Each structure stands twice: as C-alpha cells, then as structure tokens.
Amino acid sequence: MLERLRTGIPGFDALAQGGLPASRPTLVAGGTGCGKTVFAAQFLAEGIRQGEPGVFVTFEEPPAQIRQNMRGFGWDIAAWEANDLWRFVDVSPIGPIEALRVVGDYDFHALIARIMHAIQSIGATRVALDSLAAVFSRLGDGGNVRRELFNVGHALREANVSALITAERLEAHNGKTPNGIEEFVVDNVIVLRHLQDHEKRRRTMEIVKFRGASHSKGQYPFTIRMNRGIEVIPLASGGLVHRSSENRISSGNDALDRMCGGGFFRDSVLLVSGPTGTGKTLTVSQFLAAGCRQGDRCLLMAFEESEEQFRRNAANWGLDLEGAENDGRLRIVCLYPEAQSLEDHLIRIREEIDGFEPDRLAMDSMSALERIATERGFREFCIGFTSFVKSKQLATLLTSTTSSLMGGGSVTEMHISTLTDLIMLLRYVEVAGEMKRSLTVLKMRGSSHDHAIREFSISERGMTVGEPLTANVGFLTQPCPVMLDEIGGVGHAD
Amino acid sequence: MTEQSESESVHLVLYIAGRTPRSIRAEQGLRTICTEKLSGDYRLDVIDVIEDPEAAERQKIFATPLLVRERPQPTQRLIGDKLGSESVIYDLDLESA
C-alpha cells in the first residue's frame, strides 16, 4: 500500500484520495496567476501546522517578496523562520537584469548541497521548488538543465522528503508543459487552470496523474481567499445517495403534508419552483416555522430578500419567526449573490452549516445564484451542494424562479431536478377570467403522493390548500393553462 | 587562493562544488588563460561552496563551475567548465586587461 502524505490543503486530500504519494516529487503546473506559488507555499504552511518543517527553494522571487505576498493568507513566514520551521534557499536572480552566460558543462551539486543543508538544519520533511520555468528561462532548456533537474529530483527522493515543484504552462488545456521534460522527472502531476468562460473566470485544479496511486479524475473548482489560501471544492462523484431516513417532518401545512403522504422525509432535498409571487417565500417560511415549533434548528440562506422583509412577510402570514430567532433556533443569513463567486458562496454555506448545525435548511433562491455563474459552474455547484447537505442528512428546501410569469421550465430545474427528492410546482392558473394559484407535487422519491393539481390561497392565515382543479389542460406544457369547462373552448392568452 | 592587494584591475572568483574532475579541469584551464592573456594584473580566487556554504548562500549559487568577474564592474557571470580557451577573455570583456 503506497504511503500518502496528507497535505492539509483544504479539499485537496479528498481529491487525492488520501493525500500525495509520499516521498515522490509532485509537479504543479499552470500559467501565470494560476496559484502555483500559493499552492507551494501552502504545502509548507499546512505542513508546519502539522509540525512538519519545510524548505522553500525560490528560483524567481526573492524571499522578501514571498514573505510579503503570503502575509495576506495569514502565514507569518518570518516567524516560522525564526523558529526553524521554514527555511528559504534563495536562488533568485542577483540583479534585475541577470547577465548569465553558459560556457560548457555544469552541474547542480551546489544547489543540491544547499537544499540538503537546509533540510538537515531544520529537520524538514517538505520541500517546495518554485519554479522550473525560471530555471529554464535563465539557463535555456537544453540537455544539461534536464539532466541536472533529474539529479535534483533524485536527491530529493534520496533525502526522503516530499517535494512539490512548480512549472509554467503556456497552453491551458494542453497535456504537456512547453519544455516537456518535467512530466518525466516527476512522478505526480497536478494542473491548475484559470479559465475564462463567458465573461466569468473559474479556477480549477486537476490531478493528471499519480504514479501508482489512485486519485479523483477531472477538473475541480477551487478558490484562493484572504486569510485562508487555497480551498478545493470536491464535488460528489455523481450517482444517487441512498436515502436512509423513513422519518417524516411537517412542511408546516397539514394539507401539504397529506399531499406528500404524511410529510417530507427527514433528509430529503426539496425543490419548490414557480414564477415570482406564487408563494415560494411562504412555503419557505412555513417550513422554517414548522421546524422551529418542533424544536429543529433552522437555517435560512436568503439571496433575494432582506431579513426585515422576510420577518414582515412571515408575520403577515401568522408565522412567528422573530421569537425563534431570538431563541437562537432560527438563523437568517442574507447575502448578495454578486458579492462573491459561486465557489465562495458554497464555502460560506458549508461554514454556516458546520457552525450552526441546523436540522432544516432553506435556500431562497437557487435562481439568484444561477444568475452569477456559468451553466457548467452552476451545475457543479448544485452537485457539490446537494451532496454536502445529503451527507449531513439535512432537510433542505430550495426555491427556483421560473423565467416566465406564466410558468414553463427554468434552467435551475433542468440542473437540479435529478438531484432532488421532491419537486413542488407553483403556478398561476386562469380560471374563468381570474388568476388563481395552484400547486402540485410533481415527484417524490420513496412515497406515494397526491398527483392532483390543487388550488390554494394566501392570506393572514398563511397557505390554505383547496380542492383539485379538474379538466385542466397543459399545466406544465402551456404558458397559461385554462379550464376547458369554464371557457367552453381552447384558447389562451398569448 | 593568492594573497594579493586590492589594486588589480581584474578580480575573478571561481566557484566550484567540490574537487571533481570537472572543477579541477575548469580551474586549471582558467589559470592558464589568465597567465597567458592577463599580463599579471589580476586576482583569481577559487571558492569551494561545499567547504564554504556561506559563500554559496551569499552569491545565491546553484550551478557550478561559476566564474564571476568582480572587477571591473559591473559584475558578470559565466556558468560552465569551458574556461580554458581564449573565448573566456572575450566573454568576460577582458580584452583590454
């Protein structure tokens, strides 16, 4: 069994299925600004947190520059140096313009000697080299450099340290670095990308290969944040999570509970979809109120309304959320979707869930987040998010706004409908010249449910569910469904 | 190392990493060229960074043999062991020395 090194970089060890193959060099390749140097520094920083000293060999930036650049991530490198936890091997250019010419053959014995000396002097177990591109640009990329880099790699393996080496990558999607060599010198290759996708930028990390060790395949999003550094967001590996809970919880509305065969399942993910004004926020409010009444801890992530609006609406519907908030049973978090990237939102959501440990979660709305992302980014977010809440066995209510006032499908639904356990649709229905509200439970895993489309109303008593609408045509397929009996013919508003 | 005053117009420092065939060859070739071409007005220091690691840190050395022209200024550097031919003199702009 190959031994693994837990790097400590958030999310990465999950991606690496345990960590880096220990004592074998790893290449981290990426273009300018991809985060290679941060990755290399964080590799050492996380090691120090675990009591493992590290050596940072810098070919490009002077140590003073690196100390300054990494300060923003909360890493006090100077303090670590003073405590013999971090040692620099400074191989940066002597002056701004390095006048360096090559005449004949040379070797890197001096570099290896300096690195070994640094390793031994602090008992380092991790070494970062940043970057090979700088070596090639200063010495060219002939056979001499390649041979000597091989010798450095060999020496690091002999020294029984885990080495991380950064390299340039001009072509973001290509399989090879421009110099081609590094992928043979090292056993493990990671690629960082910073891609532009429809005016949005995305950072992704991919483990291209580990020699002799398993790892997750494909590109995974990651963020670089102040006071944190890099955090990788591992996605679910797809496939349905087997629902384990048979316990039911109330939606907050008795009629709705009956429509769902007795209530929602404890660990289900629920989607409520409909045009604006159809009652999604009410559905959320009554869901949270029901939870608070039975002693659940409830968390609301609100992307559409302010806390004030939310409380006011709830009060109008006869739901006491303020009392629950004061008791600490209910927590409302309001965020501007545009304030940060989707990956950062996901991290914030996870932090809130880990911190507050709710039994119920509501997200109002998923559509607000969809607005700030690319289609692929949003799909990945949905997958990562739903797998996370399912792993927590958390009853989760999501709302989605359909783009047309009269209904029809939404892009959110397209992505998330396969991931959810229950889908509830809210629609306006035209009945004899009047707009009525209707709802239906479209799908519910693991339970029989009412298949009817029912009329409902909203008042100071909240949601009142009524009788099934009959002889309805095209609730889903037509922009505005009509009641045939009432009108006496087919025809709808265009 | 030769003990001389600081008044030479040419000051060269050769950095090596241990006494290997390569480094010995480089040093010998360099001394020969200096004797032939530099009319005595030079100083040549040889520093083994394995014995003097501080020197390696100060000069940020990673590849050897490394020949540094300290004087005349500005500093120039050559990496490699082909130091026994006339081209070294040209490479270091020492024709007039």
Q: Per-residue pLDDT tens for A345-404?
A: 888 898 899 899 999 999 998 999 988 888 878 888 888 888 888 878 899 999 998 866
> How high is the pLDDT of residue A411?
59
Average pLDDT over residues A428-435: 80
Interface of B with A (CB under 8 A): 15, 17-18, 20, 22, 26, 49-50, 53, 56-57, 59-66, 74-83, 87-88, 91
Chain B nearest-CA residue for A63:
B60
Q: What is the pLDDT of residues A61-79, one digit of tens each?
A: 999 999 999 999 999 999 9
**How many helices (DSSP H) and strands (DSSP E) are in chain A?**
17, 25
Give the DSSP letter string of chain B: -----TT-SEEEEEEESSS-HHHHHHHHHHHHHHHHHSTT-EEEEEEETTT-HHHHHHHT--SBSEEEEEESSSPEEEESS--SSTHHHHHTT-TT-
Residue A174 confidence class, pLDDT cut points 50, 70, 90: very low
> How high is the pLDDT of residue A485?
38
**Residue A247, pLDDT above cutoff 90:** no
**Residue A239, pLDDT above cutoff 50:** no
Q: What is the pLDDT of residues A79-132, one digit of tens each?
A: 999 999 999 999 998 876 666 788 889 999 999 999 999 999 999 999 999 988
Output phi, psi for A417, to 5 deg.
-65, -30
**Residue A494, pLDDT above cutoff 70:** no
In this complex, which of A59, A94, A100 lies closest to B79 when CB atoms are compared?
Answer: A100
3-class DSSP state of A36? helix
Q: What is the pLDDT of residues A439-475, one digit of tens each?
A: 999 888 888 888 888 999 999 889 999 988 875 555 5
Average pLDDT over residues B42-55: 92
Q: Which residue has the tokens 């299925």?
A: A17
> How high is the pLDDT of residue A395?
94
Contacts of B47 (CB under 8 A, 6+ apart): B13, B14, B15, B16, B55
ipTM here: 0.89
Outline where DSSP puts E strands in A329-433: 330-334, 360-364, 395-401, 422-431
Mean pLDDT (chain B) is 86
Chain B nearest-CA residue for A60:
B60
Taking contacts as CB-CB distances below 8 angstroms, the residues of chain A near B63 are 106-108, 110-111, 139, 148
**Residue A282, pLDDT above cutoff 80:** yes
Highest mean pLDDT among A37-41, A205-209, A426-430, B74-78: A37-41
Q: Do A110 and B60 touch (CB under 8 A)?
A: no
> How high is the pLDDT of residue A482?
45
Q: Are A91 and B60 in contact (CB under 8 A)?
A: yes
Structure tokens at A85: 């936890």
Chain A nearest-CA residue for B58:
A90
**Residue A29, pLDDT above cutoff 50:** yes
> Which amino acid, A405?
L
Question: How far is Cα A260 from Cα A251, in angstroms, rounded to an integer?
Answer: 9
Chain A nearest-CA residue for B78:
A101
Higher pLDDT, A142 or A491: A142
Question: How far is Cα A261 from Cα A257, in angstroms, rounded to an integer?
Answer: 6
> Which amino acid, A232?
V
CB neighbourhood size of A445 (10 A):
14
> How high is the pLDDT of residue A488?
35
**Residue B8, pLDDT above cutoff 60:** yes
Q: Do A106 and B64 touch (CB under 8 A)?
A: yes
> How high is the pLDDT of residue A18?
85
Mean pLDDT (chain A) is 84
Q: What is the pLDDT of residues A178-203, one digit of tens each?
A: 555 555 556 788 999 888 776 677 88
Q: What is the pLDDT of residues A330-349, one digit of tens each?
A: 999 999 999 888 888 888 89
Q: Do A104 and B49 touch (CB under 8 A)?
A: no
> How high is the pLDDT of residue A424?
92
In this complex, which of A90, A105, A114 lies closest to B22 when CB atoms are compared?
Answer: A105
In this complex, which of B20, B56, B77 lies closest to A99 when CB atoms are compared?
Answer: B77
**How much of chain A exceeds pLDDT 90, in percent?**
41
Residue B42 has, within 13 A of its CA and on its CB side, a CA count of 24
Question: How far is Cα A3 from Cα A160, in angstroms, rounded to an integer?
Answer: 12
Taking contacts as CB-CB distances below 8 angstroms, the residues of chain B near A105 are 22, 80-82
Taking contacts as CB-CB distances below 8 angstroms, the residues of chain A near B87 are 103
- Which CA distances in Å does A187 have to A21, A209, A232, B93? 9, 8, 22, 44
- Selected residue of B23, B59, B62, B73 to mutate for chain A interface (largest A Cβ count, 10 A): B62
> How high is the pLDDT of residue A1?
54
